[in-house]
Amino acid sequence: MKIDINANSLRRLVRLLRNLADELEEICDVNKASKSKTFTERLTVVPDDESGIKEVVAYYLKIHPTRTRYANNLKSKHSDYKLIKKRLKQGYKVEELKAAILSNSREEFWVRQGLHGIDHIMKKDSNLEKFIENSKGKKNAASGYSPGSEDFSGDSKDFGH
């Protein structure tokens, strides 16, 4: 049986495993774990805290100030609200989501198409991971031309010029 795993899914899995390892280490450490909480309460990965969601929405409105009407309609039952909450529960940090929003607002394709909605940024795993990676200044093979290594190019340095 062959299983295909893309790099973005693997990165997300590693992030979740790191978060889980940190949580389990905290639970096992008697000094850090609260004795008053039950085991299942301590095992909860992300508390149901709305401050992170509000911070992401506030940043989104800072980057896209023309969408103020959008903020008034963003309640707990709104799909974008649920999407932000889902991403935070999956282990993404508020700063990563804010970096993805900023990266989306700067990339030429997304600007030209006017695709700046929360769903455009966070719905697809590949888009979200790409925005986060691009915000860190990392470029991958899909984002631009790379001449390759010296070993690979050999004596063909003038190729394509």
pLDDT, tens digit, for every residue of 41-85?
444 444 456 888 889 888 988 888 877 666 666 777 888 889 999
Residue with tokens 């508020």: 94
Whether 115 and 63 map to the same domain: the answer is yes
- 150 lies in some domain: no
Tokens for 83?
Answer: 């999407």
Do residues 57 and 128 share a domain?
Answer: yes
4, pLDDT greater than 80: no
Q: Of 134, 35, 119, nearest to 81 (Cα)?
A: 119
Residues 16 and 77 in one domain: no
Q: Of 84-88, 90-94, 95-99, 142-146, which range is least confident?
A: 142-146
User: Are 135 and 98 in a shared domain?
Assistant: yes
Residue 5 has pLDDT above 60, yes or no: yes
**Residue 145 forms part of a structural domain:** no
Q: Does 33 lie in the same domain as 14?
A: yes
Whether residues 26 and 77 share a domain: the answer is: no
What pLDDT shows up at residue 95? 93
Number of domains in the chain: 2
Residues 98 and 132 occupy one common structural domain: yes
pLDDT of 99 over the 90 cut: yes
pLDDT of 115 reads 84
Among 30-44, 67-81, 103-117, 127-141, top mean pLDDT goes to 103-117
Residue 92 lies in a domain: yes
Contact (CB, 8 A) for 21 and 13: no
**This prediction's pTM:** 0.56
Residues 71 and 87 in one domain: yes
**Above 80 in pLDDT, residue 134?**
yes
Domain span at 127: 49-139
User: Does 62 share its domain with 131?
Assistant: yes
Note whether residue 25 is domain-resident. Answer: yes
Question: What is the distance between the alpha carbons of residues 32 and 41, in angstroms, rounded to a whole number?
Answer: 14
Residues 21 and 82 in one domain: no
Alpha helices for the chain (secondary structure H): 7-28, 39-43, 51-63, 68-73, 79-89, 94-106, 108-113, 118-122, 125-135, 150-153
Residue 98 clears pLDDT 90, i.e. is over it: yes
